A and B are shown apart, each in its own frame.
Chain A
């Protein structure tokens, strides 16, 4: 008998017989319910609910939880052990969910059940402490049973992890997305209308090609696709240039370069777009200068493709950089040295050895840039002009004057199809080749210097870009200290005072600024969600790279899904799915944390996969052969080699939680208002001064957080690389 089974059995019974089954309306950490516990029917545990309060449908749950008691004392090699656990876990989980969905706040949820069983005369609320523990126990029994049957070499940790990730992805990605995508085949009165779906899917404003023949814009699908390819390619190239400079040259101001490359990622939405308009717009500083100096008539060229591309390049190059730097640095110098010893010159070595070894990084960077561009909302909103893209169309299909949720769902399906194709194209390009160069064998070489022309190329693209970034950020910082950005440039601290003033009242400090409330909430939510996101992302990456199991491709795609879907769709999907029992989360902070976790998890997964495919499996195998279990191997061997990926995942998820906007709009509530939704409200009202002051403070906070994360996670040491030759400091920005 395994101790873990006993423990989870105990957990399950505590959940069933002691803790309240239903969610407590006053909040998770509010213990006022203890007063009426356990007699009150709202706070009683499931066992009592079933026996005493007439909620008979909860009793089969007890039955499923009682079954494993029968196998206490049996060994896991005993066929009964696996069979009973499988049955108990599988049935328990399925039944608990089924009863949750069948009986809601107004009794039976489905008419068929009502006619079959008659009116229920009772109702139930969202699941609470008890239900969470019981479901956890069932999930564990199920995975333990599967492992005992011999799946994945009987490795309980791996099977359990796969089970956990699948359960979470199903609950928090598939379920809400299905809830909204189903409206694609419904008309606006929720009747099934497949014909309408095809009319909408093949309509001219999605697929039209008028731009090829006349002076009109093409369909949104082509616009989005074209933009995404341009941005994906552009950010990958630029990210590579920065990564090469940071790891393989003696460039002096590397630290500054890193800050500059990270800045755009930590900028709240809309701000970059606004700065671009103030510089390049019809009345922008650059345009005005060009008119004054060369009499070039100012035009509106920035609105449309050029503007969106520029802003998205600024915003997403850092993501490519974060993914690529770990990969570029991780390539073993041994291969390059071998090539050079065989008399290849540095250029040839780079093209035939280094570049192919960077493929996982390049492919993942492109994929992220591509997807980000498709889903981006803030930049096309400000700079789009008449260049319509999918994400904006989706947003306005939902919140615009037409309120056409079904059209939004159709557009979201088109967007998903693009993402799916990009994802498979990437898989094919990488193929089944091995990119492992971190092998544990003697590895004391140093990276070769960049070939001359590549160095010139890298400097030539990266440095002007860095300068542009610097100018844009100076413009933004400047905007917070002037009366009216772009109009009245008199110095003022008024915006900062309005947002962040602190006064002393009768009882000590009073946080009287308008922004404090949302600021602290944002910080709390971001700090909680970042480690969780990184954790689940890297765990998933580990499963995907190191384990083989049936349905792995579908599993991988499932984890990418939430990233590829525009925030608006996710936001509405979350309300549709989690506003009613059995999982009732709207109006809480939990829904924000969960939304961020599953929305940003793919970056952790991508970074983890890219980094992990460089680490030779023989390292894991050595550890396993020496008797370590898979969890120990993960912790002691794989994780320390993954530090750049961990940093990328932590930084990205923290920053995203502070800067995300489109999904968040629908999930914030009175007690949990987020910084970005506050800023958006100000921007809508043209109150740019305060919006920018707030953004500047957020940028500073995020910079500090990034430094903290770097220090806390530490650096990866690979041979002598990084330390002496170029005088480098870390491995990731």
Chain B
């Protein structure tokens, strides 16, 4: 008897499947998980390769997705460095022991806020840029509705703005959690939650993603979006009628961070990247990549489009306390219980 055809088919299928097999992984010198926008990733990598000759294999994912991936890969890490993305998941990764300690010789060239955050994380993460929290409004809609310009956090809870404000759900978005923590630090815990309850009445939708409110504002789907200021600047630069506002009471901020993944296979190259990324050559690329945050290297001037640091009243944000998972869980549970179920 002859070989059943079914097996030949199965065999051919298996062989075909493997043609998509792995290729040329040895040629690379290290693997970067990149969380900011892709143009920025590509630009920085190109410059790094020019400067050092080290080849970089890059995968771009948002910071939440990268955290989930590094966590899932913890038994056999595939990445070396995680560059960019908001600081919260970086701090969480540090807390859970997913990232490695490294004291870069570049540390003392950084702004005090970056040095402080690095110290608080046990040198497992470091700031590469800073972005202040605030909100943006759509000038056309505001004029059409005849509403006053909001300037402060307290303005947003005025009844005139009912159904006109959007913010993300702090359970899903780091941006909204930073807002919650900022409000609590500004007005105290009781005052802060009172504020959130009043704000709740004006919210038309809690979005899932942190930057969605300003995108909705840009397209006229909502009047005001509470976001990081640089996201509002991006919409403005893209030609939408958005005015970014740094609230008058003062505001919190995020530190876009970088960490070396624990168990990195190419540690030497990872460290080279780490030091280089904190230096002026890397950080002065930000405006070219349409990144409007403040660089962490004290010697690099912020992009001209970025909100002026002098005009923003920054609070002394306690990353150690509000970045810890215990405090986060407590605040989120309280928000879920006291704010979310209220009628609007």
Contact = CB atoms under 8 A, between A and B. Distances in A.
A400 B170 CA distance: 9
A569 to B, nearest CB: 11
B172 interface: yes
Q: Name which of B141, B206, B208, B209 has the most chain A CB atoms within 10 A of its CB.
A: B208
A216 B343 contact: yes
B205 A396 contact: no
A384 interface: yes
Contact of A28 (B18, B64, B88): B18
A525 B20 contact: yes
B69 interface: yes
Given A525-B20, A528-B20, A25 B25 contact: yes
Given A385-B205, A590-B20, A214 B239 contact: no
Nearest to B176: A401
Interface stretch (A218-226, A479-487, A552-560, A606-614): A479-487
Contact of A30 (B2, B24, B57): B24
A484 B21 contact: no
Interface string A514-552: 100000000011001001100110000000000000000
A539 B253 CA distance: 56
Interface string A147-186: 0000000001100110010000000000000000000000
B239 A386 contact: no
A417 interface: no
A384 B239 contact: no
A488 interface: yes
A593 B26 CA distance: 22
Interface residues of B, number: 81
Nearest to A381: B208
A136 interface: yes
Interface in A587-646: 587-590, 592-594, 597, 629, 631, 635
B24 A671 contact: yes
A309 interface: no
Interface stretch (A235-243, A277-285, A446-454): A277-285
A490 to B, nearest CB: 10
A589 B22 contact: yes
B51 interface: no
B221 A300 contact: yes
B239 A403 contact: no
A593 B20 contact: yes
Contact of A671 (B23, B64, B71): B23
B206 A29 contact: no
A336 interface: no
Interface in A684-707: 684-687
A136 B14 CA distance: 10
A576 interface: yes
B36 to A, nearest CB: 9
B31 A670 contact: yes
Given A3-B1, A7-B3, A668 B37 contact: no
A508 interface: no
A532 B17 contact: yes
Given A4-B7, A277-B221, A579-B75, A26 B24 contact: yes
Contacts of A488: 239
Q: Name which of B68, B73, B211 has the most chain A CB atoms within 10 A of its CB.
A: B68
Given A3-B2, A586-B73, A669-B59, 17 more contacts: A29-B19, A160-B6, A160-B7, A216-B341, A392-B208, A401-B171, A401-B174, A401-B328, A403-B92, A487-B218, A584-B76, A586-B78, A590-B20, A592-B20, A666-B61, A671-B23, A671-B25
19 contacts: A3-B3, A4-B2, A26-B24, A136-B14, A215-B343, A215-B344, A396-B172, A403-B71, A403-B89, A405-B71, A528-B17, A575-B73, A579-B75, A580-B76, A587-B22, A588-B20, A589-B22, A590-B17, A686-B215
Interface of B: 1-7, 9-11, 13-14, 16-26, 28, 31, 37-38, 42, 57-62, 64-65, 67-69, 71-73, 75-76, 78, 88-89, 92, 141, 169-174, 176-177, 204-206, 208-209, 211, 215, 218-222, 234-235, 238-240, 328-329, 332, 336, 341, 343-344
